[in-house]
Structure 1
Amino acid sequence: MTKLSIASWNVNSVRLRAEPLIAPFVAKAQPDVLCLQEIKCLEEQFPEKTFRAMGYEHFHIRGQKGMHGVAIASKLPLEDLGDEAICPREEARHQRVGVAGIELHNFYVPAGGDEPDVETNPRFAHKLEFVDRMRDYFGARNTKKDKILILGDFNIAPTENDVWSHKQLLKVISHTPVEVEKLNAVIDAGDFVDVAREVIPEPEKIYTWWSYRARDYKASNRGRRLDHIWVTPPLKDAALAKGRDGFRIYEPERGREKPSDHVPVVLDLVL
């Protein structure tokens, strides 16, 4: 059996944070595959040289000028499996590769703006349609047989203990009932296993994001679990083989100088 370590991190500008934040994290965590969201650059602007110095030799990048964007850096070969038409606006928010016999999807789901009303807020309507397309795509797949792992910034905290206050956030985008319902429909459609909640059962709180608006994120600790790693049934044993020790949230990264508002999430699979 072999171990495959996969990390997910919304870095909020890869060029800004590659050397001061991502490189030190990689030196500590040593993920074999690093999936990034919100890279905010074109493919040719990705700082590949910096990532090669970290030990990564294989890259798959879906960039966009100044916003959005997803990228995968890997120590193992990557197979380009082609992108799916999941984003209604054709923004750089999804990529699909093969690595070590796994079909890996990296997602950056739209945040959705501030007003949870599809009539007055097109960004929220866009987000809900994106999640519906995820549901339809995985619902059409044979997820009971296919080894699929999806991860990224889903921008939805699905359970009551994935937010600092369930009651206070029911009308706040990322935890509204309609978003939670639609994300749960993706889980059901793909028979997905939410790895975090398998190894860290409720009612324990789990956060991966803290707002920039908080002067001291640690003191207020008003977090949300927006970053996820899910697997289909054929990968469940591999994903849970190391139990809680195999799933790690690197919270201290939120306290670095000029950090992202998200922190890295890492899963060790035993294949």
Structure 2
Amino acid sequence: MISVATWNINSVRLRIDQVKRYLAEHAPDILCLQEIKCQEHQFPAEALAEAGYEHQVVCGQKGYHGVATVSRVPIREYSRHDWQDNGEARHVGVEVIGRDMLVENVYVPAGGDVPDREVNAKFGQKLDFLERMTRWADTVEKPTLIVGDFNIAPLESDVWSHKQLLKVVSHTPLEVETLQRFKDAHGWTDIGREHIRDPERYYSWWSYRSPDWRKNDRGRRLDHMWASPELARQASAHRVLEEARSWEKPSDHVPLVTEFDI
């Protein structure tokens, strides 16, 4: 068995204690982090190595974005794609040594506030990012797991109010359709929804603006773990750690983890 987790940590240096707590209490074999918000030389490599995660691949930049994959099993960098086409650090892929498995770690742009590329360039960049990902998906040949913050909640049960969020970036029909084209390009399996079936409530993000996130529960499922068909058949368990949203100085996202019999 091998377990892979994903977590938008919203600054790994600010929340290194939360990361270490998660690793100590839940011990995934591989942890994919998004929005690390640091350059590669600033990444808390030593602290994570001391926690048992000495294998590390980091794609960072100053102050914004950034992804990192850390592991207690051997990994090596496999790819870096600039799907934003502007140099931002939003993807890194690794090969799990000794296992027939690639893990692609991605941070899709949020897309700004207005769901119209004519008045909001960020929204257009998000759609273009997904289209480049889709062209890449057509070329995938090896058993692959793609994880991360997709910044899209595609299903009605992925948001606290489908009706109220239809015109809100992350749940608009155009974003959902664009993400579906990516899914269809390789026949990805949405691992989370294989184990937490629609229409069951399934969230991974709650805004900091909500004073009582648990009581109000205005969540969205922005984080995903999707597997290529052959790998999806080996997924044996999937969990969401909602309690991490209540930890001291929490990220607004919580970790997901999938176990594979591989």
1:14 is paired with a residue whose SS is coil
Q: Identity percentage over the alignment?
A: 50
Match of 2:58 among 32, 56, 61: 61
Aligned equivalent of 2:242? 251
Aligned equivalent of 1:263? 254
1:16 is paired with a residue whose SS is coil
Structure 2 Cα separation of the partners of residues 43 and 201 of structure 1: 38
Mapping of residues 61-100 of structure 1, within 5 Å: 61-99=58-96, 100=99
- Cα RMSD of the aligned pairs, angstroms, is 0.9
TM-score, normalised by the number of residues in structure 2:
0.97
Aligned equivalent of 2:164? 168
1:167 is paired with a residue whose SS is helix
Runs of at least 5 residues in structure 1 that lack an aligned partner in the other structure:
none
1:52-76 deviation line (CA, Å, top 9, x unaligned): 1211111100001000000011111
TM-score, normalised by the number of residues in structure 1:
0.94
| 8 A contact 2:82–2:90 mirrored in 1 | no
Mapping of residues 42-57 of structure 1, within 5 Å: 42-57=39-54
Alpha-carbon deviation of 1:85?
3.4
1:102 and 2:93 correspond: no
Partner letter of residue 244 of structure 2?
E
Which runs of 4 or more aligned residues in structure 1 lie more than 2 Å from their structure 2 counterparts after TM superposition?
none
Partner letter of residue 257 of structure 1?
E
Aligned equivalent of 2:140? 141
Structure 2 Cα separation of the partners of residues 23 and 80 of structure 1: 23
Structure 1 Cα separation of the partners of residues 183 and 134 of structure 2: 8
1:101 is paired with a residue whose SS is coil
* Equivalences, count: 260
Aligned equivalent of 1:234? 230
Aligned equivalent of 2:4? 6
Aligned equivalent of 2:215? 219
Runs of at least 5 residues in structure 2 that lack an aligned partner in the other structure:
none
Aligned equivalent of 2:176? 180
Structure 2 Cα separation of the partners of residues 28 and 102 of structure 1: 25
